[in-house]
Amino acid sequence: MKQTPINFEIVSNKISESGINSVGKASIREIKKLVDDIENATGDKYIRMEMGVPGLPPLEVGVQGQIDALKKGVASIYPDISGIKPLKTEISRFVKMFMDIDVEEEGCIPTVGSMQGGFAAFLILSRIHKNRDTTLFIDPGFPVHKMQHRLLGLKYDSFDVYNYRGEALRDKLESYLKTGKIHSIIYSNPNNPSWICFKDAELKIIGELATKYDVVVMEDLAYFGMDFRKNYSIPGVPPYQPSVANYTDNYILFISSSKKFSYAGERIGMMVLSDGLYLSKYENLLEHYPSEVFGYAMVFGTMYPLSSGTSHSAQYGLLAMLKAANDGELDFIEKVKDYGRKAELMKNIFIKNGFEIVYHTDIDEPIAHGFYFTFSYPGMSGEVLLDELIYYGISAISLLTTGSEREEGIRACTSLIKYEQMTDLESRLSAFKQNHPIS
Ligand SMILES: Cc1ncc(COP(=O)(O)O)c(C=O)c1O
């Protein structure tokens, strides 16, 4: 029997009881359940890096805003489908203050998490052109977006951007757009899972090509402002959160409040439609919607039948947080910087023990320290590495589920790790290195 930091026999038994063939291929939720079971059986605590959940308390100003609204009785009243007026005002102000982007309030729509914004957008974008049926993912990406495509029976294509950073992105992207099949493009920035952050030059390429080929860009800003190398925290003062919105008028922004405001539980996010897209007319929409106008079809033909809008009280919670941020009374970025501090410490421990960071640069500079990072171990595939690490009290997910072509890669999420666990991480990785000498 092997000597590993977590009892080898118990771990092996729990894996076979779970029915999981390969830990390295299991989904996030399967790994979560397995690790819960092993923790219960052994009493050992894992370094849990599998789930991308906030590790911080919700912003108090939001909670208070929501409680006040509930006490006033909003729970019994249907909210406006496109969002309550004061919230729409603050969303529009937020993108002006923190992105320097001008958008009419009309296009600022609260959604049931950013997840619903994606769902609604995929649905409608697949119907704007008769002859175009494919979404293009600039990967790696958030696996649930692909799950939504499969659920809706929609086509997608994708490529891993690892080898196409900078100017190389232009030809690669254009090779897909030239097919005439693509109606929209999606990526997240900062990127889940790799934490690469596109440079302005790359966003410009995406924006220019979107305009040239009349393709809509969905920019997923779930980790808004969290490239901690820059200070995006002062409203109305540069630098601003970089965005494709500076380079095309054909865009939808998804701005989640789950991570940046630690508000995942209330399922409220924002979808921002550019003024141009809101008013765009697509004749093909008339087959499914009451109007050919994109914004109208989005609100009255998509958000309405999906959920009739978003939780009334959560809208007030979000309103309170946005207002405080816009007025300069809440530095929401400072509150989440801890993720970056932990990432730096954790990455150093991994590197010291022979591991490598997979997505390690943004063209000419080291990648930022943030919510996620990616790692590998020389000579091992990601699947084998995850299978092994589970015996060392470390859990994470394979990059393969994210559209990454780096089959050696693992995604680590920093959010749930406590500072006092760093010594465990160090000793476990050191034991791993000893048992797996690098040739
Ligand atoms: C890239 C990305 N997009 C969207 C989401 C979903 O956000 P929400 O919780 O607002 O639905 C997440 C959550 O992990 C994410 O990482």
Q: Are residues 228 and 248 in the same domain?
A: yes
Measured from the CA of 257, which atom of ligand 1 is nearest? 10
**Which residue's CA is minimally distant from atom 15 of ligand 1?**
222
Q: Are residues 170 and 232 in the same domain?
A: yes
The CATH number given to whatever domain includes residue 399 is 3.90.1150.100
Chosen domain end from 326, 359, 375: 326
CA of 159 to the centre of ligand 1 (A): 20
For residue 107, being part of any structural domain is answered with: yes
Q: Are residues 231 and 369 in the same domain?
A: no
The CATH number given to whatever domain includes residue 205 is 3.40.640.10
Q: Are residues 309 and 231 in the same domain?
A: yes
Residues 19 and 25: their CA atoms lie apart, in Å, by 12
Q: Are residues 188 and 302 in the same domain?
A: yes
Chosen domain end from 326, 346, 362: 326
Q: What angle do CA 122, 267, 157 make, to 5 degrees?
A: 25
Q: Are residues 210 and 252 in the same domain?
A: yes
Query: Residue type at 5?
Result: P
Treating both helix axes as pointing N-terminal to C-terminal, what angle do 168-177 and 200-212 enclose, rounded to 10 degrees?
20
Out of 91, 114, 119, 226, mutate this one to test ligand 1's pocket (max ligand atoms within 8 Å of CB): namely: 114
Q: In which domain, by residue range, is 258 found?
A: 60-326
pLDDT at site 55:
85
Out of 115, 197, 227, 372, mutate this one to test ligand 1's pocket (max ligand atoms within 8 Å of CB): namely: 115
Q: Are residues 255 and 376 in the same domain?
A: no
Measured from the CA of 269, which atom of ligand 1 is nearest? 10
pLDDT at site 163:
93
CA distances from 210 to 131, 169, 172 (A): 17, 13, 13
Burial (0-12, 13-18, 19+ Cβ within 10 Å), 88: buried
Q: Give the residue ranges of the chain where pLDDT is below 70.
A: 1
Cβ 421 vs Cβ 373: under 8 Å: no
Q: Are residues 217 and 361 in the same domain?
A: no
Specify the DSSP class assigned to residue 45: P
Q: Are residues 25 and 67 in the same domain?
A: no
Please tell me the total count of domains within the chain.
Answer: 2
pTM value surpassing 0.85: yes
For residue 1, being part of any structural domain is answered with: no
CA of 54 to the centre of ligand 1 (A): 11
Out of 145, 258, 262, mutate this one to test ligand 1's pocket (max ligand atoms within 8 Å of CB): namely: 258
List pLDDT tens digits, range 32-51. Answer: 999 999 999 999 999 999 98
Measured from the CA of 191, which atom of ligand 1 is nearest? 1
Q: Which residues line ligand 1 (CB under 6 A)?
A: 52, 113-115, 142, 188, 192, 220, 222, 256, 258, 264, 269
Q: Are residues 266 and 183 in the same domain?
A: yes
Q: What average pLDDT is seen over the chain?
A: 96
Nearest CA among 328, 333, 322, 330 for reference residue 93 = 322
Q: Are residues 69 and 200 in the same domain?
A: yes
Chosen domain end from 326, 348, 368: 326
Residues 188 and 161: their CA atoms lie apart, in Å, by 12
Cβ 203 vs Cβ 138: under 8 Å: no
Measured from the CA of 192, which atom of ligand 1 is nearest? 1
pLDDT at site 1:
61
For residue 89, being part of any structural domain is answered with: yes
Q: Are residues 87 and 169 in the same domain?
A: yes
For residue 214, being part of any structural domain is answered with: yes
The torsion angle over the Cα atoms of residues 167, 97, 264 and 410, rounded to 10 degrees, is: 20
For residue 2, being part of any structural domain is answered with: no
pLDDT at site 248:
98
